[in-house]
Amino acid sequence: MDAALFDKRRYPVVSAPEGYGEWAETYEATVAAGLDTPLLESLTTVPWRAIARAADLACGTGRTGRWLAHRGVRAIDGVDRAPAMLSRAAAKGVYRSLAVADVAATPLPSAAYDLCIMALADEHLAALEPVYREAARLLAPRGRFALIGYHPFFLMNGLPTHFHRATGEPIAIKSYVHLFSAHFAAGQAGGLALDEFRECVIDENWLATKPKWRAYLNWPVSFALVWRRGA
Ligand SMILES: C[S@@+](CC[C@H](N)C(=O)[O-])C[C@H]1O[C@@H](n2cnc3c(N)ncnc32)[C@H](O)[C@@H]1O
């Protein structure tokens, strides 16, 4: 479903490549780290220390790659459609390779990764099946696909993914609502089994980093799904 159906803000909307091309400069200073970091740290079914090779889909500026590197993952390949985001990822020095590519059609090798991870990007995909199929192709047997997403309830509550231009003008980035049943169907169609499902709800700790979000206290703001490829 197009997130525009629920949009209450009515900001001008741009495509993901255009939006992230522009947001890249201020992205790390403004993205809410509470969306993904607490969820990553809560996951119990990803054996981080045992992961030798990871593919970071929609790696952006490399926040997830840096998090993985701190957990000892040495070989991380990243892809993203926005070159301006990728150049910031390159500057972090934690990726083995980086490529401009769509998450659904990467140049990465098949059956080569212990972990595929995609953080905060599924809402920009019109359909989920292609990225689940691609993650399944990339994973080695028993490899995991960890998907962290902006919560569909939040998009349905009318708050689109957005950033502010240097002028202060708010700009929304084209987004889609994917219900959890759609994730489940896409994962199953890709031959993956669901191992873990978590949701992050805005609480007082969360608000300490983003006080302006107080109106959303108790709303689920993000989620994590961990999938496993069979043997
Ligand atoms: C909110 S950022 C998340 C970046 C990073 N994963 C993080 O957690 O900070 C979303 C990223 O998804 C990328 N993106 C959106 N659609 C994409 C697609 N179809 N293929 C590849 N990258 C895409 C954008 O360019 C952007 O860098």
CA gap 218, 229 in Å, rounded? 34
Contact in structure between 118 and 144 (CB atoms under 8 Å): no
This prediction's pTM: 0.96
- Whether residue 12 lies inside any domain: the answer is no
Flag whether pLDDT at 74 surpasses 80.
Answer: yes
Q: Is residue 84 part of a domain?
A: yes
Nearest to 116 by CA among 84, 180, 86, 73: 73
Looking at the domain assignment, is residue 144 inside a domain? yes
Output the DSSP codes for 126-182: S-SHHHHHHHHHHEEEEEEEEEEEE-HHHHHTT---EEE-TTS-EEEE--B---HHH
CB 171 within 8 A of CB 163: yes
| Structural domains in the chain (count) | 1
How many Å lie between the centroid of ligand 1 and the Cα of residue 32? 15
pLDDT, tens digit, 9 for 90 and up, residues 20-60: 999 999 999 989 889 999 999 999 999 999 999 999 999 99
User: 146 in ligand 1 pocket by Cβ < 6 Å?
Assistant: no
Q: Is 131 in the pocket of ligand 1 (CB under 6 A)?
A: no
Among 1-15, 133-147, 149-163, the least confident range: 1-15
To test ligand 1's pocket by mutation, which of 20, 39, 40, 171 has the most ligand atoms within 8 angstroms of CB?
A: 20
- Residue 137 is assigned to a structural domain of this protein: yes
Residue 231: is its pLDDT beyond 80?
no
Residue-range definition of the domain harbouring residue 146:
28-150+179-229
Residue 46: predicted pLDDT: 97
Q: How far is the CA of 80 from the centre of ligand 1 (A)?
A: 6
At 82, the pLDDT band (50, 70, 90 cuts) reads very high
Res 143 pLDDT > 80: yes
Q: Tell me, what CATH number does 192's domain have? A: 3.40.50.150
